[in-house]
Chains A and B, each alone.
Chain A
């Protein structure tokens, strides 16, 4: 029996199971059901962030009783494991099997770059509520007509932040950023703005995404820098400042938004006191709207909302607003994008509208970590205190759209490190 080439009933059974198991698709599409496919990491190192994302969306849904202007919302969450290929497969499943009207979510920039082609291929709306990959709404936006962004583009807060760094008198800065698209764009935007007002980036270090042991990198940080610019994502955010402090480095630290976002801030210690970051949201934003949001979220989920929560909460709100206009009917992918991109919102994070490449124009906040009391909570806690607001920041900053788009997208090697030794 060596060459048992040939089928047996088992083959048939298996294929049969496969076909049966998966062809039970939901065909009953009542007119007023809105199916939203939500892709976010539910397991793995980014699970916490994924939870924040879906919680934000869910909280809004609960507030409106699970229906948008009469359309009953079916919210289907799929786990992307923070791996782009898995995200693609899950997205295909949501579109082909669950027949969702739109995809929402994705986390990493790389996931955004992977999901956008799916939206084009399947002619399905994709709302990038978190993935901030610049080119989704820049050089490649024409390739992805069904993509709209409700979060931010990676380099958007970095541009004003670079200018701010100059104003603080920093001359020489070293950067250490996670080695993936998002890292390049946040660091690249900062470098460009910082250097165009006279600063110098003298060293760029790229530890791999998911690095836990920064031992090899911290000693290489140049000693003669005025400050350190860090860009961490996920669990890295927690480990880096700890290990930096352990290594006895006391330079001022600036960070991309995700380095000190509220998803990780409560787990941090006083080593991050005084670190400064820039983003379109802070849980410590002192507006009545935000105060209410923070209190409600905290009551419901037991923790302070992160920008991931806010962004998806706001995304749900935006979809709802569109449905109010259409009277609870799904307007079709193209019309949906058109309607949404022309609207203006008064969101938790502040006023938001979209530019013609479907990226939000919004405030960018410079935030300094302080231990204090906020919103009437009894304990001293770490908060991202807003120290400066840059209003209505566009993804093109003040470079002008055409001028900006002539540049290549920020990458490992762009802008080139002219002052690296």
Chain B
């Protein structure tokens, strides 16, 4: 257990956290604005991967697959929000079950469309192999994941802090009654946020597809981990999602490397602890 070990493990943990951030940032935004616990978010992630595979099969372009898959998933999310979630109103339990129902529907649809095989997205050659730095091998794809998360995180932050839309969203997060009072169309804000969340999940699915594979069941494997991020970071907070992703990525990685017997416990126990001490998570607000 020398410095090399710690360095490379930390790097691995951060890169995994970067992938989680793509998924969790959408989840947390949806929660923050709409108070919806979206259990079909894992399905969005998986669908993103599948759509990307189709795009790659049709056009051969991985670069094109990124935005197309994310956009397709965003449209699915948008429709789901407009047609169904809207009608349920504010009732956490019913929202949860509705989104679970959709998760099952998506699962079956994916199985019918893409089959049950274990698929894998092949990234461009440029992102394969690894960079050697000081005798350590840093896989290119992991570097790419970190870069993507940073870019996406920055864009989200700029949008939230510097634009009018962002101000409206923040107002809706803080107090949707008040926001409506000052003339913000919260319904449209909700629609936008839900689509954005789905977009990010779909994007995550494409990026993650080359790393985790694309296969039935991935949706419900990744979902609880994304929730761990959101719960630790604080529901509704973008900063929280970033910090939470790092914590979970590192906890997961070091947990597996150092305490394999209780590795998932090391992931969820801190979550419970944080919730017990600060029920709103690290950066969440009451």
Direct contact of A and B (CB under 8 A): yes
Which residues 205-246 of A have a CB within 8 angstroms of B? 205-208, 210, 212-213, 215-217, 219-220, 234-235, 238-239, 243, 246
- Inter-subunit contact B118/A216 (CB<8 Å): no
Q: Are A243 and B120 in contact (CB under 8 A)?
A: no
Given contacts A47-B118, A47-B216, whether A216 and B132 have CB atoms under 8 Å apart is no
B116 sits at the interface (CB 8 A): yes
B116 proximity list for chain A (CB < 8 A): 42-44, 47-48, 51
**Chain B residue nearest in CB terms to A49:** B118
- Tell whether, in the assembled complex, residue A48 and residue B118 are in contact, meaning their CB atoms are under 8 Å apart: yes
CB distance from B143 to the nearest CB of A (A): 11
Give the docked Cα–Cα distance between A210 and B118 (Å): 11
Indicate whether B60 reaches chain A with its CB closer than 8 angstroms.
no
Stretch at the interface among B8-16, B45-53, B84-92, B146-154: B8-16
Q: Which residues on the A side are within 8 Å of B286 (C-beta)?
A: none
B64 at the interface (CB under 8 A from A): no
Asked whether A96 is an interface residue with its Cβ less than 8 Å from the other chain, the reply is no
A210 contact set on B, CB distance < 8 A: 221
Q: Are B260 and A215 in contact (CB under 8 A)?
A: no
Q: Are B111 and A234 in contact (CB under 8 A)?
A: no
Q: How far is the CA of A216 from the CA of B5 in the complex (A)?
A: 10
Contacts of B105 in A (CB 8 A): none
Q: Which residues of B contact A219 (CB under 8 A)?
A: 4-5, 8-9, 12, 257
Residues A243 and B212 in contact, CB atoms below 8 Å apart:
no
Q: Please give the distance in Å from B47's CB to the nearest CB on chain A.
A: 16
| B253 contact from A45, A179, A216, Cβ within 8 A | A216
Question: Contacts A45-B215, A47-B118 hold; do A248 and B137 have CB atoms under 8 A apart?
Answer: yes
B256 at the interface (CB under 8 A from A): yes
B163 on interface, CB distance cutoff 8 Å:
no
A215 touches B128 (CB 8 A): no
- 0/1 string, B113-131, CB within 8 A of A gives 1: 0011110100000001110
Partner of B212, one of A43, A179, A212, A234: A212
Return the CB mask of B199-223 against A: 1 if under 8 Å, else 0: 0000000000001110111000100
On chain A, the residues within 8 Å of B215 by CB distance are 44-45, 47, 235
Interface check A247, CB cutoff 8 A = yes
Q: Which of A46, A206, A216, A235 has a CB less than 8 Å from the CB of B12?
A: A216
The interface residues of chain A lying within 8 Å CB-to-CB of B217 are 43-45
Q: Contacts of A239 on B, CB cut-off 8 Å?
A: 213
The minimal Cβ–Cβ distance linking A95 to chain B, given in whole angstroms, is 25
| Docked CA distance A45–B220 (Å) | 13
- What is the size category of the interface that chain A forms with chain B? 20 to 34
Please tell me if B139 contacts chain A, counting CB pairs below 8 Å: yes
Determine whether the beta carbon of B142 is less than 8 Å from that of A238. Answer: no
Q: Say whether B213 contacts A206, CB under 8 Å.
A: no
* Distance between Cα atoms of A183 and B31 in the complex (Å): 41
Does A248 contact B118, Cβ atoms closer than 8 Å? no
Taking CB atoms, residues of chain A closer than 8 Å to B117 are: 47-48, 51
State whether B16 touches A213 (Cβ < 8 A). Answer: yes
B21 at the interface (CB under 8 A from A): no
Say yes or no for A267: interface residue by CB 8 A criterion.
Answer: yes
Nearest-neighbour CB distance to chain A for B29, whole angstroms, equals 25
A206-B260, A216-B12 as given contacts; A248 in contact with B253, CB under 8 Å: no
Query: Are A215 and B142 in contact, CB atoms less than 8 angstroms apart?
Result: yes
Q: How far is the CB of B82 from chain A (nearest CB, A)?
A: 31
With contacts A206-B260, A216-B254 taken as known, whether A235 is within 8 angstroms of B118 at the C-beta atoms is yes
- Contact residues in A for B254 (Cβ distance below 8 Å): 216
* Among A207, A213, A216, contact of B9 (Cβ-Cβ < 8 Å): A216
Partner of B213 from A43, A216, A235, A246 at Cβ < 8 Å = A235
CB <8 Å contact, A246 and B256 = no
Instruction: Determine the residue in chain B with the shortest Cβ distance to A243.
Output: B139
User: B-facing mask of A65-86, CB < 8 A → 1, else 0?
Assistant: 0000000000000000000000
Q: Are B8 and A44 interface neighbours, CB within 8 A? A: no
Known: A45-B217, A47-B116. 18 other contacts (CB 8 A): A42-B116, A43-B111, A44-B215, A47-B115, A47-B117, A47-B216, A48-B116, A51-B117, A179-B260, A207-B256, A207-B260, A208-B263, A216-B9, A216-B252, A216-B253, A217-B256, A235-B118, A235-B215
Which B positions have Cβ atoms within 8 angstroms of A? 4-5, 8-9, 12-13, 15-16, 111, 115-118, 120, 128-130, 132, 137, 139-142, 211-213, 215-217, 221, 252-254, 256-257, 260, 263
A residues sitting closer than 8 Å to B (CB atoms) are 42-48, 51, 179, 205-208, 210, 212-213, 215-217, 219-220, 234-235, 238-239, 243, 246-248, 267
Q: List 17 A-B contacts (CB under 8 A).
A: A44-B216, A48-B118, A51-B117, A179-B260, A208-B263, A210-B221, A215-B16, A216-B13, A216-B257, A219-B4, A234-B118, A239-B213, A243-B139, A246-B139, A246-B140, A248-B130, A248-B137
The 4 closest A-B pairs by CB, nearest first: A215-B12, A47-B116, A248-B137, A216-B256
